[in-house]
Structure 1
């Protein structure tokens, strides 16, 4: 059994990680009942000798808190029909290096635009681009494979130094995670990322593309990725209906004081 958090994580968290992975891989589909607690307890005791029923319940409680499963009194625990998408930024790259698939392989990707443009002002500012810098853009819409409903609008802005004239200028879905393609073409490895989150109202075009009301808020992420030498490798943006996604960030808390004044207002 593997875990996103590794062997140092509490047992209940590691069990929740495994069950979450199985749900996302389709082992348990929407509306399907999970095995009874006693069956899960017997199964996980092979990896965690002495596992208690309360620890097993704590693991299921994590999934309930995330909206992945729901309990029906006297019946059992079922996979939620309309669960929120989850983004765990710290684990996305490692997972994709392991499975060599798209970062969102469970969704259907449609490339809506490929070309060379001067990025929008917000993108240019967050990426510290020189005025007038031209980049290759790849815009996409991601759909739920079962319902056909749009889940996410996205775009990636890529430096001409490696993207120009490459297959990244073709209007086709790439065969693996885009960052792996960028590493192949640039000869550099992703080493640092910075995420900028913003809640806002959608534009008319965004509301139409996501098939949502213009009064329904969206969550807008701009993700800036660089190599170890600070070379810019990619700026990507993603837009979701705000009530359809959950951002989960897990990290170690410093044991002592740190002088990081000015880096956080809240």
Structure 2
């Protein structure tokens, strides 16, 4: 049997109904709420209970009390806050320009108040800047105003030893921005670590931002690092929850822009096997009998050991493999053909989720370049005899069909070749990366 909970106190039910009317737009920004007396009459209760219900909404930041006029729905015009815009290039104009421009476009008036202090850092700042005990910081404290209301604080901390006697010490706008000044001092930032916390404000923060009761804040803490990994700047932004919308823009890099090819190492054996089995499973789903047997791991290991097996990575993740060697399979190629200056392609596999950008063409073009690098004139391969679609694929990419050999116990044998200097030119670029030991 279900057990019902206790009925909510009347003052909370009053708040619930008014909150719902604010949420659904029945009571819009700036609208006056019923008076305490009207609420008490409607709910057949006391005026003090009505006041309790209204105070719940005041504490939630939904309404304001403007005595003796009454209670009004709070007007909210949040600022869109974009942390990722900090490192974007901008004109050599005052450092508030981006903020001012955004507000001006929205028909709002923006300003700021700046103070500069030298002080002992808090533990949080000291830890993030990796300062020694007793080391001082310079802090540029800013309060930003919109339409006369303080909207957020922006306090930037720098090691005093880095910025002493620079423009960062002056409590004024910096025409080209404090980040540019820091770079001119030899401490340009190339990356930043962002941390976001949500909590209630401290009394000091509530005072600086003139916050009403019950207003939470988001804390955006950003630490900037130089190319050698040194932290040189920590910023603490306090963003009242009723005045901001925090917006992050994220874009996924094009897969083809992150590609690289490298020689496989012994630890890549499971990866090559997985790619083979992935391709074999897909072929089986298509009703194609190619590669429907366990991969010959000893051959793969030998190719890796000889530097003939290669891995293609996209954003650091393996998406394809190809093997190129000088081995002319005697089941297919004649003794005289084996003496030709040729490089042979084996075990070319592309993961299905990397399909659609003609990576296969890029791998074949790369193999041709590798053949030329090794002084070869031809690029050759043997294809599965029953996979007519694959054979058409090679024909479309400049290969000539030499002949088809029906070797006993072998399902491959459709032989193709093309000039090593041929390039189909339709796939992405495959830059080669080599282990440090080979440089």
| TM-score, length basis structure 1 | 0.58
User: Could you say which residue in structure 2 is the equivalent of 1:176?
Assistant: 176
Q: What is the number of residues matched between the two proteins?
A: 174
- How far the C-alpha of 1:253 sits from its partner, in A, is 4.8
Alignment CA distance shift 1:110-1:247 (3 Å): same
- How far the C-alpha of 1:217 sits from its partner, in A, is 0.5
Write out per-residue CA displacement over residues 133-181 of structure 1, whole angstroms, 9 at most, x where no aligned residue.
211111111111xx21101112111122331122322222322322122
Alignment CA distance shift 1:111-1:91 (3 Å): closer
Write out per-residue CA displacement over residues 105-142 of structure 1, whole angstroms, 9 at most, x where no aligned residue.
31312113x22212111222233333332111111111
User: Could you say which residue in structure 2 is the equivalent of 1:105?
Assistant: 99
Higher relative contact order (CA 8 A, sep 6+): 1
State the structure with more CA Rg: 2
- How far the C-alpha of 1:99 sits from its partner, in A, is 5.5
Write out per-residue CA displacement over residues 186-222 of structure 1, whole angstroms, 9 at most, x where no aligned residue.
2232201001111111111211211111421111111
Quote the Cα distance in structure 1 between the aligned partners of 2:223 and 2:93.
Answer: 21
Quote the Cα distance in structure 2 between the aligned partners of 1:166 and 1:214.
Answer: 40
Matches within 5 A, 1:89-238: 89-96=83-90, 98=91, 100-102=93-95, 104-106=98-100, 107-112=110-115, 114-144=116-146, 147-184=147-184, 186-238=185-237
Quote the Cα distance in structure 2 between the aligned partners of 1:182 and 1:212.
Answer: 33
Q: 3-state DSSP class of the match of 2:141?
A: strand
Write out per-residue CA displacement over residues 229-251 of structure 1, whole angstroms, 9 at most, x where no aligned residue.
11222111110111221222222
Matches within 5 A, 1:34-49: none
Alignment CA distance shift 1:243-1:82 (3 Å): closer
Unmatched 5+ residue regions in structure 1?
Answer: 1-80, 260-266
Quote the Cα distance in structure 2 between the aligned partners of 1:171 and 1:215.
Answer: 32
Alignment CA distance shift 1:231-1:257 (3 Å): closer
Quote the Cα distance in structure 2 between the aligned partners of 1:127 and 1:177.
Answer: 20
Quote the Cα distance in structure 1 between the aligned partners of 2:119 and 2:207.
Answer: 23
> Is 1:84 aligned to residue 78 of structure 2?
yes
Quote the Cα distance in structure 1 between the aligned partners of 2:195 and 2:232.
Answer: 16
User: Could you say which residue in structure 2 is the equivalent of 1:68?
Assistant: none
Native 8 Å contact 1:142 1:151 kept in 2: yes
Bigger drift between 159-168 and 209-218 goes to: 159-168
Q: 3-state DSSP class of the match of 2:85?
A: helix
- How far the C-alpha of 1:82 sits from its partner, in A, is 4.6
User: Could you say which residue in structure 2 is the equivalent of 1:247?
Assistant: 246
Matches within 5 A, 1:19-38: none
Quote the Cα distance in structure 1 between the aligned partners of 2:86 and 2:129.
Answer: 21
| TM-score, length basis structure 2 | 0.36
Native 8 Å contact 1:123 1:222 kept in 2: no
Q: 3-state DSSP class of the match of 1:168?
A: helix
